[in-house]
Amino acid sequence: MKDWEIYLYGHIELTTGLYCGVMTCQIVLFALINILLDTCLMNRYKKRGGYEGHRPPLLDVRKDVLDHENEVR
């Protein structure tokens, strides 16, 4: 079985601990990238940099809502 051992860069032995550590780092990295992209896409309409950003998504105001608003006034 000595002939079947695999080494990384010629001297790092591949073990279960190394595998679990790499997989844990990969999961954390992908989770952080996912959260960052999701936050950027979710809040992109709030940007007010050098250009006018997108307006926030709003529902259409229907006639019954306008009638109720007039009644309250």
Indicate the pLDDT class of residue 47, thresholds 50, 70 and 90: low
Where is average pLDDT lowest: 28-32, 37-41, 47-51? 47-51
The ranges assigned to domains in the chain are 1-46
Q: What per-residue confidence (pLDDT) applies to 50?
A: 43
Indicate the pLDDT class of residue 61, thresholds 50, 70 and 90: confident
DSSP 3-state of 55: coil
DSSP 3-state of 40: helix
Share of the chain above pLDDT 70, in %: 77
- The encoded tokens of residue 30 equal 């992908």
Q: Averaged over 22-37, what is the pLDDT?
A: 96
- The pTM of this model reads 0.52
